[in-house]
Structure formats: structure tokens, C-alpha cells
């Protein structure tokens, strides 16, 4: 099975041009299946039956894995079997009838505008690190991009005079505007600070560590946690919280869903719809609290 997994990951990388994180996730899920099957005495992928796969899903449920984790594992299996069947590595796709559990859509964690301001004001010093961190936080909230997109931005992706960035993924690119707060923070960072922080003058990355390589996701995650603590914010803040807050605050202030969908890079508007639902529930809550005859 190991060889089949390796072939699948190479295919995803070369043909589907998936990101490194996606490939790592697929590999992690499939290696777990491999270990489970080996424990059942099955080493050859061709001998895995539909019953075996259903037993694996049952094993995940019994071990209290979340519905989201089980769904992701099933998605990995389906992609893997679709590849093997297409390549003639197996005679039938035994993953075809696997059903993912229903996932309750949780409302995303949203920061208040006051907490966002508190967070963004934390890097207020004049050290190169604080100037860089200020630019990163302002740009993240101004554009709603994912942390992976932020740390992989190149200097050529930024149009400072017109106030927009170009964000690219494997299949498309999107243009996202940003306002004066992010523009000022970026201008300050690009005006000498970036050169001080990056030893390699040929580095193309906008936000890099001292060796000129992109900052790691873990590095930025730690950075945002430290500033949240400094701001006295007790809620669990992650980089994705700022993305959710960006979208929710836009919708609350009247932005249309299609524009927000385009900026976030959602392929399906139903994903963006959750922010409108949040707005409606808040309006209802305000009505119930304030109307004398609710």
C-alpha cells in the first residue's frame, strides 16, 4: 500500500498541483489506513474490500474522532481510490459507497471590532520585528487571506500605490483591495525594514525570516497568540479568526456576499452564506432585546 500512496501523492503534486499542506494531510490520513489494514493482516491494497473500509470508518467513530476528521479521512480515501481505479491499480473503487457523517456547521469565532483594534495596535514599537509584525497583522485583517497565502506573498504581488494584492493558488488568482491602515503599515515595513530583516537580497518573499525564506505557519501562529495575550484578549485567537472577522465585519457593514466570496476565494457561495446568517441572528437578537413587544 505504501507504494500506491507514494504514487498517489506524486500524481496530486504533478497533475493536480495541490499544496504541500494538502499532500501532507492526504499522506497522514492514508498512512493511518495502511497501519489499520496491516493490523488486520491486509498488506496488499488490492485485497481491501468495501467491508474493510467500512470497518475502518467504524473504528474512527468508536475512537471518538470528530465528524469533520472522519469526513476528511473518507474524502482522502475516495480521492485515493479514484486515482487507483483510473490508473488500473485496482479492479473496482470500493470507496464509492462510503458516506461521510453529517457535520454540524458551527458558527465561526468572530472578534469584536474593539478586540481587532486592540490586537492590531499591539506591535507599536520601532524595532524591525514589530514593524514587520504590524504590517502582517494589518494586511491579514485588511484582506482576509489565509495565513498560508500571507506568508507566501511575494513583493511583486503587492501594488502599494493602488492598494491591492494579487493572491494566487493552484487554479486561479484573485485581486483583493486593502485600506490605508494596511497601506501605511506596509509602506513603513518596505521602507528599509524588510532589507534589514532579510539577509538574502534576492529573496522574492514579502514577509520572510532572516534567511530569506517564508515565515512558517507555526511561527505566525505563535506571533498572533503572543499579541492577543499582550492585548488582554482571553478568547482563543488564531490567524483564521481574523479571516472570519474580516468577512463578518464586511457583511455586517453592508458588503454583498458575491464580493466577499470573491475576496475570500470561496468556490461555493454557500460557504460565504454563513456570515450573512450570523448577521441575521445578531439582528434578531438585537430586536428581541430592544423591542417592547417581541
Looking at residue 271, its pLDDT comes to 62
Mean pLDDT by 10 residues, the chain (294 residues): 91 87 91 93 91 92 86 92 92 89 68 86 89 92 86 90 82 84 92 84 81 79 89 82 81 73 70 62 52 53
Q: Where in the chain is the domain with CATH 1.10.150.130?
A: 2-86
> What stretch of H or E contains 173?
strand 173-177
Say if residues 212 and 177 touch (Cβ distance below 8 Å): no
Looking at residue 279, its pLDDT comes to 55
The CATH architecture assigned to 2-86 reads Orthogonal Bundle (1.10)
The DSSP letter of residue 205 is: B
Quickly list DSSP for 120-163: HTS--SSSHHHHHHHHHHHHHHHH---HHHHHT-BGGGEETTTT
Q: Where in the chain is the domain with CATH 1.10.443.10?
A: 113-288
Q: For the domain covering 113-288, report its CATH number.
A: 1.10.443.10
The dihedrals phi and psi of 174, each to the nearest 5 degrees, come to: -135, 150
CA distance 282 to 252: 9
Query: What is the reported pTM?
Result: 0.60
CA distance 140 to 167: 12
Amino acid at each position: 500500500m505504501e507504494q500506491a500512496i507514494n504514487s498517489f501523492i506524486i500524481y496530486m503534486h504533478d497533475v493536480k498541483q495541490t499544496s504541500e499542506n494538502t499532500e501532507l494531510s492526504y499522506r497522514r490520513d492514508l498512512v493511518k489506513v495502511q497501519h489499520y489494514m496491516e493490523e488486520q493482516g491486509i498488506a496488499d491494497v488490492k485485497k481491501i474490500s468495501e467491508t474493510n473500509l467500512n470497518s475502518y470508518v467504524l473504528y474512527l467513530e468508536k475512537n471518538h474522532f470528530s465528524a469533520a476528521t472522519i469526513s476528511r479521512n473518507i474524502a482522502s480515501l475516495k480521492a485515493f481510490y479514484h486515482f487507483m481505479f483510473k490508473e488500473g491499480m485496482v479492479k473496482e473503487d470500493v470507496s464509492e459507497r462510503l458516506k461521510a457523517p453529517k457535520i454540524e456547521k458551527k458558527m465561526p469565532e468572530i472578534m469584536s471590532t474593539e478586540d481587532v483594534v486592540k490586537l492590531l495596535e499591539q506591535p507599536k514599537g520601532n524595532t524591525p520585528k514589530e514593524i514587520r509584525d504590524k504590517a502582517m497583522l494589518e494586511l491579514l485583517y485588511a484582506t482576509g487571506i489565509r495565513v498560508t497565502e500571507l506568508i507566501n506573498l511575494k513583493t511583486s504581488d503587492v501594488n502599494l500605490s493602488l492598494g491591492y494584492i494579487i493572491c494566487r493558488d493552484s487554479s486561479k488568482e484573485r485581486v483583493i483591495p486593502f485600506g490605508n491602515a494596511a497601506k501605511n503599515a506596509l509602506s513603513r515595513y518596505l521602507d528599509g525594514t524588510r532589507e534589514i530583516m532579510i539577509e538574502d537580497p534576492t529573496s522574492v518573499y514579502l514577509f520572510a525570516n532572516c534567511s530569506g525564506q517564508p515565515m512558517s505557519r507555526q511561527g505566525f501562529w505563535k506571533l498572533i497568540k503572543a499579541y492577543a495575550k499582550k492585548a488582554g484578549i482571553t478568547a482563543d485567537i488564531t490567524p483564521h479568526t481574523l479571516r472570519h472577522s474580516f468577512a463578518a465585519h464586511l457583511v455586517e457593514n453592508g458588503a454583498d456576499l458575491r464580493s466577499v466570496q470573491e475576496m475570500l476565494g470561496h468556490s461555493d457561495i454557500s460557504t460565504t452564506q454563513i456570515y450573512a446568517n450570523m448577521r441575521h441572528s445578531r439582528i434578531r437578537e438585537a430586536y428581541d432585546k430592544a423591542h417592547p413587544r417581541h
